Chain A
Amino acid sequence: MQTHSHNTFRRFVQLLLVVLVIGAGALGSWWVWGREGNADPNRPIHLTVTVPGGNQKRLAIFDAVVREFEKTHPDVKVSVQGIPGGRYYQKVLVMLASRIGPDLMWMGQSFSEFADRGVFLDITSHIENDETLNLTEYNPQALSWYRYDKKQYAIPFGIDMRVMVYNKDLFDEAHLPYPDDDWTFEEFLAVCKKLTVDRDGDGRIDQYGYQGPIELSLFGGKIVEPDGSAAACNCPETIAYIRTALDMFKKYRVSPTPKEQMQQTGLDGYSIFRQRKNAIMMFATWDFASMKKQFANLRWDIVLNPKVRRRGQWVSSQAFMIHRDTKYPDLCWELYRVLSGPAMQERMAFMTIPTHLPTLQKAIANHRGAPKNVAALEKALDRLYPTPRVPHLQELINLYSIACQSVWTGEATPEEAMRTAERQINRTLRRRKR
């Protein structure tokens, strides 16, 4: 026993020693490596920009624009951090909460949640003092989304729009004309019915006419009041919307069950469309970059929403924000102008819709390849329905969408569900009121 246990023990000690040596070596090299950059007192000014990761081209564009900025500002080093998309807001939140936020940060739809809490720099005076900037050239509606109490917090660089994408080959096979931007819901439904096919006759539909949400705004429906004071979902319009959405898969059977964000987000959505599981599908402009690659084998184009009670498109927007506590507000503004300016927007064009109107027109004129119908995006700019930017938006929408799901799964009628949602939203609002 003695010798053997001694033997094992010796090996154990050897192992510990090996670990120690590696650890010490690593620590030593850290001493050399890790501190290297901090030694120089005259180091250049560092600015940090956070953007969500993902599409390589998007990241490359941000990077290229920033590198150009660095060329004109040799004393500035800008680091663009691509943060995994799923955790983007969480990371930014923690950074902001401990006041070490990035100097500039990308913001999408969750902007209002942050703006409400005063973490962004008010750029109104910068805008007024900048002679090179002509705000009238920008989409006024998109600008207004970033105005709080007469303070401007951002100049958005892109509008994201949800549009229907259709597969031209499937329309050809069914001898249907391609849809028109001025179509109505009845026409849409008729097309969907014709494009819903059970190819092998096993009673299981192989190709649906349409997959995706029908926009709430087409019905004039609301979730919360625009001022965020109370729930507004228990109204006939919203209920009509839910009823129609339900009919799409229950009554007409032209759509798969609304899995809302469950099976159609991200990659599965592309695969489903690419493998001809549906003829028309809801995507958004931010999908275009991926779709260009994913749908290279298909003939596809975009079309605006059909008219239900009115015409409309759901939109969101993208903008950079300057952190209120940044050490270099003026420098940030210069970088900001580059990151949101026309040149950058032109390069981003149709991964997101330029907000700078001359750039938009130029981009439409210069556009080549799929989707052809980019002019429709400009046409839709006067009928935009963004989700209202009110405080506690995400939490309220969550309550609403849970209620909707209870309708999809058959546990509640639209009326019951909206009554529940209304009550819960109002209770939550009362609770969160300061």
Chain B
Amino acid sequence: MMGRQRNLVAFGFLTPNFIGFLVFVFLPVLAAIGLSFFRWDIFHAPEFVGLENYSNLLGGYWEDGTFQWNDPHFWKYLWNTLFLMIGIPVSMALSLFLAIVLNQQIRARNLFRAIFYLPTICAGIALLLLWKFMFNEEFGLINRALAWIGVRGPGWLTSYHWAKPSLMIVSLWTHMGGSSMILYLAGLQCIPPELYEAASIDGAGAWKKFTAITFPLLSPTTFFIFITSVIRGFQGGFESAYIMTEGGPNGATTTIGYYIYNHAFQWFNMGYASTIAMVLFVIILTVTLINWRYGGRKVEYV
């Protein structure tokens, strides 16, 4: 095929998605980028302020000989967000494990898959509320169970140090049987069984099969899950914190996503919210590119 013709064919494939993408995704994103240079309270006309939002967000000043950030909360919330992302690799490992177990020829396989997917289906206010009850210091299920074995449980959602781990537990529980498991299952289905048969004949054990066949062949899936999880991790944490802790105590569970929401919809600082989003964007982009460069290279496409 000629180069030009090839381009034409390819763009033919791309067009249906590309048009929708341009209109519904790309244009609003451009608008958001633009807004980050404006002060906009949503009702009045936006007012151009140049880099003021950025300096308000990232800058600092000296007072009484100590350095102060212009927006100390941003840094705190960024740290919270990063901390909560520790859960991502754990969650992915659990998803992979579940997928492998559920990919065996065992009875009631479909039923189990459905059960593990339940938290994702049920997810929402009702479920978060249930967790809030379970975490209740005085008469939550968890602390009652702990008291039964003689341990005095902490105020899971109300103590500064336990709030973040508690939210991580919730997200782990919700996500391990969720989309990652589905994707891993799909990935496992795509691995030709002949490879395992050949390995068995060579006398390879389960672990060996996993490291030599399963894991490498799943690497495109893993790569995808990792990238999307990281992106979501940077943006997420809003729903659960909003309902269970309202970002507290003392801002321990406020993530950047929550902070952006507050500025955009609670405090009417749309411009500033966009600025935070842009800084977040740069961070995510950097992380993703690093992933792409170094992680992507190891991805094996058959």
Q: A interface vs B, CB < 8 Å?
A: 86, 89-90, 93, 96-97, 113, 117-119, 204, 256-257, 259-263, 267-268, 272, 275, 277, 392, 394-395, 398, 402, 405-406, 408-409, 411, 424, 427, 431-432, 434
Which B residues lie within 8 Å of A402 (CB)?
73, 248, 250-251
Question: B134-154 CB contact bits vs A (8 Å, 1 = yes)?
Answer: 001111000000000000100
What size tier do the contact residues of chain B reach? 35 or more
**Contact between chains at A275 and B139 (CB < 8 Å):** yes
CB distance from B80 to the nearest CB of A (A): 13
**Contact between chains at B266 and A394 (CB < 8 Å):** yes
In the complex, what distance in Å separates the CA atom of A132 from the CA atom of B165?
Answer: 60
**Contact between chains at B43 and A117 (CB < 8 Å):** yes
In the complex, what distance in Å separates the CA atom of A398 from the CA atom of B269?
Answer: 14
**Contact between chains at A408 and B249 (CB < 8 Å):** yes
**Contact between chains at A409 and B265 (CB < 8 Å):** no
**Contact between chains at A409 and B133 (CB < 8 Å):** no
Given known A-B contacts A257-B155, A409-B159, A262 and B249 have beta carbons under 8 A apart: yes
Question: B192-219 CB contact bits vs A (8 Å, 1 = yes)?
Answer: 0000000000000000000000000000
| B136: contacting residue among A118, A268, A395, A406, CB under 8 A | A268
**Contact between chains at A411 and B250 (CB < 8 Å):** yes
Majority secondary structure of chain A interface residues (helix, strand, loop or mixed)? helix
Which A residues lie within 8 Å of B265 (CB)?
89-90, 93
| 29 A–B contacts from the bound complex (CB under 8 Å) | A86-B243, A89-B266, A93-B265, A93-B268, A97-B43, A117-B41, A119-B43, A260-B248, A262-B158, A262-B246, A263-B136, A267-B129, A268-B133, A277-B138, A392-B267, A394-B266, A395-B267, A395-B269, A398-B267, A402-B248, A402-B250, A405-B249, A405-B250, A406-B250, A409-B159, A409-B250, A411-B250, A427-B70, A431-B56
| A261: contacting residue among B72, B132, B246, CB under 8 A | B246
Which B residues lie within 8 Å of A277 (CB)?
138-139
Question: B259-275 CB contact bits vs A (8 Å, 1 = yes)?
Answer: 00010011111000000
**Contact between chains at B266 and A395 (CB < 8 Å):** yes
In the complex, what distance in Å separates the CA atom of A434 from the CA atom of B73?
Answer: 23
**Contact between chains at A113 and B268 (CB < 8 Å):** yes
In the complex, what distance in Å separates the CA atom of A268 from the CA atom of B244?
Answer: 12
**Contact between chains at B250 and A117 (CB < 8 Å):** no
CB distance from B73 to the nearest CB of A (A): 8
B160 is an interface residue with CB less than 8 A from chain A: yes
Which B residues lie within 8 Å of A434 (CB)?
47
Given contacts A394-B266, A411-B160, 14 further A-B contacts (CB under 8 A): A97-B43, A117-B41, A117-B43, A117-B268, A257-B158, A259-B249, A260-B248, A268-B133, A268-B136, A277-B139, A398-B262, A402-B248, A405-B251, A409-B159
In the complex, what distance in Å separates the CA atom of A392 from the CA atom of B266?
Answer: 9
Given known A-B contacts A256-B138, A275-B139, A262 and B157 have beta carbons under 8 A apart: yes
CB distance from A12 to the nearest CB of B (A): 14
